[in-house]
Amino acid sequence: MSEETTRDGNSFVRLFISKPRNLKNDVLSGLTVALALIPEAVAFAFVAGVHPKVGLYAAFMMGLITALVGGRPGMISGATGAVAVIFAPLIFKVQDMATANGASAAEAATMGLNYLFAAVILMGVFQVLFGVGKLGKFIRLVPHPVMLGFVNGLAIIIFKAQFSQFTVKGSLLDTWPLTVMGLLIALTMGISVFLPRLTKAVPATLVGIVVTTVVGHFINIYNPGLVRTVLDFVQDQNASVTTLKVGLPMFSLPQIPLTWESIKIIIPYAFLAAAVGLIESLMTLTLVDELTNTRGKSNLESIGQGLANIVNGFFGGMGGCAMIGQSMINIRGGGRGRTSGIAAAILLLLFVLFLAPMIEVIPLAALVGVMFMVVIGTFEWSSLRLYKKIPMSDFFVIVLVSVVTVLTDLAIAVFVGIIVSALVFAWEHGKHINALKTKEGNKIKYELDGPLFFASVTSFKELFNFEGDPEHVYIDFAKSRIWDHSGIEALQNITERYAQNNKKLHLLNLGPDCKLLLEKAENIVELSIQEDAHWHIADDKLDS
């Protein structure tokens, strides 16, 4: 694995992973991803309160369709916790409603599933509309510090999520099972680290899973139950599930009443899930772009995610979005093309259709070891060195987004980071408006330098001496622009204050857009318009 770290100004750029793109790497990396997808799909199904097969179907359909038609080859999608936690309350709400109306437990569970599938379809529709509307470009508005915080927060979440594997029904494993698990994790991680130094013919993580599975199987032969397996984990969640083997997903229309009341129930959950899914998917797309030094298509990815969720709803899947952990496994394993995602999805389905017994005996330690390697590779360690090397506001945003990601969820963290970054930007630029004064007889000219917008209006008003200035006051906007309604209101305010002191204000070099905005002040303001200046103003007209 060839990795490079570059430095651009005061900010570090993510590791660029150089790997040859070929069919062998794609298929072998997809095999590794398929193995890692299974326990997470099952776990997220339990989070949503549905049968494991609903999560496994989602992992298969999300992975296959986004790999086929999405905008980011090499990125892996599947059933995710971010979507599961949004839909879980919907399922429980519908089940409670059904029970209150006299339905049996089985009928209530079926009704909950039908509402889930309908919400997943609507979620997909929202995402397709987002992509068709070409709104994916707004991912560019995410500042780099927010991206770093997002990545670090996700790494911490992935790390924390692995600790559930060390417990049985909420209690920590006994000493010997815990010790053996730790040793098997170390074995998996050791193979992942040192095997690439000997050969890169096969993904090290795949070899680590296979070797650890063989070792764990022999340990369990001589000491049954000492090594916890994937099936053990599943049965801890639901003892009635005896196997991961499932049949093919079947087409079915969600059986919900086609009434406005039903639509009102699912719309909030569908819209929120669509937003969270797109944020996580597009942020993961950006990260994969940086890791591979290529560029994905955000609008096409949005459409791909939406189509995958629509199909999920009609074929009994719980929906999902991009998975950063599995995407990192794929990229670091050499998966670059669409074949890697297709292989992961198809192999996952084959496993649960025909090879479930083989998957069920994989030690949890092997998958935990793989995920720990993902954590190490995902966390942006260079960000720890940025303290005092970048503006403190940017470093604060990195830490803030990381913390909010861990404490709440990804969407809230990204929104908080963007808002804080925007406020910092506005504050800094709001301090930079100033003016060069030139006085001649009964005239004075203020040559503005800096943008006039909501954050700078106070500084702007403080530039002028309304009582002491001569009769004619000129404000030259050649080096300044008005960006929003607050700026227009500030301009109108000073024209009125000069008028109260019987002085005339003349505005020079304003763009033609401003003439319409200042028509209220035309009786006291003389406009000097530069013909080739067409600057966009946020408002069309001052308030009456």
Q: pLDDT tens digits for the chain (544 residues)?
A: 344 443 343 333 344 455 566 788 899 999 989 988 887 787 778 777 788 889 999 999 999 999 999 999 999 999 987 788 788 889 989 999 999 988 888 888 899 999 999 999 999 999 999 999 988 777 777 788 888 888 788 788 878 878 878 888 778 889 999 999 999 999 999 998 898 888 877 778 888 889 999 999 999 999 998 999 988 888 887 777 788 888 899 999 999 988 888 899 999 999 988 988 898 898 889 888 888 888 889 999 999 999 999 999 999 999 999 988 889 889 888 888 899 999 999 999 999 899 888 888 989 898 888 888 878 877 878 888 888 788 888 889 999 988 988 887 777 888 898 899 888 887 777 667 888 898 888 889 998 988 888 888 888 888 998 888 998 888 888 888 777 778 777 887 888 888 888 888 888 877 666 655 555 545 444 444 434 433 333 333 333 3
Q: What is the pLDDT of residue 219?
A: 94
Residue position matching structure tokens 């087409």: 251
| Co-location of 345 and 486 in the same domain | no
Would residue 181 count as lying in a domain? no
Supply 103's token pair: 């339905």
Would residue 202 count as lying in a domain? no
| Co-location of 232 and 287 in the same domain | yes
Would you call 534 helix, strand, or coil by DSSP?
Answer: coil
Domain span holding position 123: 22-173+228-353+368-395
Q: Is the dihedral of CA 409, 413, 416, 422 positive or negative?
A: negative
Assess contact for 376 and 189: CB atoms under 8 A: no
| Co-location of 238 and 330 in the same domain | yes
Tell me how far apart the alpha carbons of residues 141 and 144 are, in angstroms, rounded to a whole number: 9
* Other beta carbons within 10 Å of 300: 15
Would residue 51 count as lying in a domain? yes
| Co-location of 461 and 386 in the same domain | no
Cα dist from 498 to 162, 385, 442, 501, 510, whole Å:
67, 52, 14, 5, 19
| Co-location of 344 and 449 in the same domain | no
Helix (H) or strand (E) holding 476: strand 472-479
- Report which of 124, 120, 111 is spatially closest to residue 255, judged by C-alpha positions: 111
Total domains in the chain come to: 2
Assess contact for 63 and 344: CB atoms under 8 A: yes
Would residue 449 count as lying in a domain? yes
* Other beta carbons within 10 Å of 177: 18
| Co-location of 169 and 267 in the same domain | yes
Would residue 305 count as lying in a domain? yes
- Report which of 324, 396, 281 is spatially closest to residue 151, judged by C-alpha positions: 324
Instruction: State the DSSP code for 173.
Output: P
| Co-location of 391 and 458 in the same domain | no
| Co-location of 151 and 78 in the same domain | yes
| Co-location of 131 and 240 in the same domain | yes
Q: What is the pLDDT of residue 344?
A: 94
Q: What is the pLDDT of residue 389?
A: 82
Would residue 193 count as lying in a domain? no
| Co-location of 331 and 471 in the same domain | no
Q: What is the pLDDT of residue 117?
A: 96
Cα dist from 326 to 142, 153, 354, 372, whole Å:
23, 16, 23, 12
Q: What is the pLDDT of residue 131?
A: 93
| Co-location of 435 and 391 in the same domain | no
Would residue 423 count as lying in a domain? no
Would residue 106 count as lying in a domain? yes
| Co-location of 374 and 499 in the same domain | no
Cα dist from 81 to 40, 46, 77, 148, 324, whole Å:
9, 10, 12, 21, 12
Helix (H) or strand (E) holding 283: helix 260-292
Q: What is the pLDDT of residue 516?
A: 59
